[in-house]
């Protein structure tokens, strides 16, 4: 897992060709990394690859949210093409920013286009928690992170923690690649 401060996390990720080498293996490995880190979403830049691949596992919260039973999806070459004006706020964290959780305002609904794991195209509106996770992960594909959505005051309040992360001073329960 690449941690805040790694340059790959600030790059705009590239679309990949449908014959990208070992794509299915990459998706499997990303799901495994996600499970080990106990997260709900993971974008390829977080594992050091500046490409537009995201995996989302909402099945892990299906005990509390039964509508997400079996929700394991890959998003290849995903793009948000439109957002609703209605906003919602929710506390977010990020595997690449361990130990920091903040309320983030995001559009309540998003129109997304992507290829699924079987390279089938999708063009759909999603809402609620699914929309939030997609926006968070697709932000990584644009070189953005959830802390970029915070007010200047909130950014100032976590500045020291973020700076410490860039110097390798953080702790997390999963394998991480600090900046050195």
Q: Which residues are catalytic?
A: 137
- In three-state secondary structure terms, 145 is coil
134/137 Cα distance (integer angstroms): 5
Beta bridge partners of 75: 54
Fill in the DSSP letter of residue 36: H
Range 98-105, long-range pairs (CB < 8 A, 24+ positions): 98/3, 98/165, 98/170, 98/171, 98/172, 98/176, 99/161, 99/170, 99/171, 99/172, 100/147, 100/158, 100/161, 100/162, 102/146, 102/147, 102/150, 102/154, 102/158, 104/136, 104/146, 104/149, 104/150, 105/149
């Amino acid at each position: 897992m690449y941690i805040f401060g790694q340059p790959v996390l600030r790059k705009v990720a590239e679309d990949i060709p449908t014959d990208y080498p070992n794509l299915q293996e990459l998706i499997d490995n990303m799901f495994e990394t996600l499970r080990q880190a106990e997260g709900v979403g993971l974008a390829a830049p977080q594992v050091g690859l500046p490409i537009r691949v995201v995996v989302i596992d909402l099945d892990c919260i299906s005990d509390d949210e039964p509508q997400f039973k079996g929700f394991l999806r890959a998003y290849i070459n995903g793009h948000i093409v439109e957002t609703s004006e209605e906003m919602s706020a929710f506390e977010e964290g990020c595997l690449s920013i361990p130990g920091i959780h903040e309320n983030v305002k995001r559009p309540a609904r998003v129109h997304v286009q992507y290829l699924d794991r079987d390279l089938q195209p999708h063009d759909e509106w999603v809402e609620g928690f699914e929309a939030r996770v997609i926006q968070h992960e697709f932000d990584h594909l644009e070189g953005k992170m959830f802390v970029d959505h915070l007010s200047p005051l909130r950014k100032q309040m976590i500045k020291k923690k973020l700076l410490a992360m860039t110097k390798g001073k953080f702790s997390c329960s999963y394998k991480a690649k600090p900046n050195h």
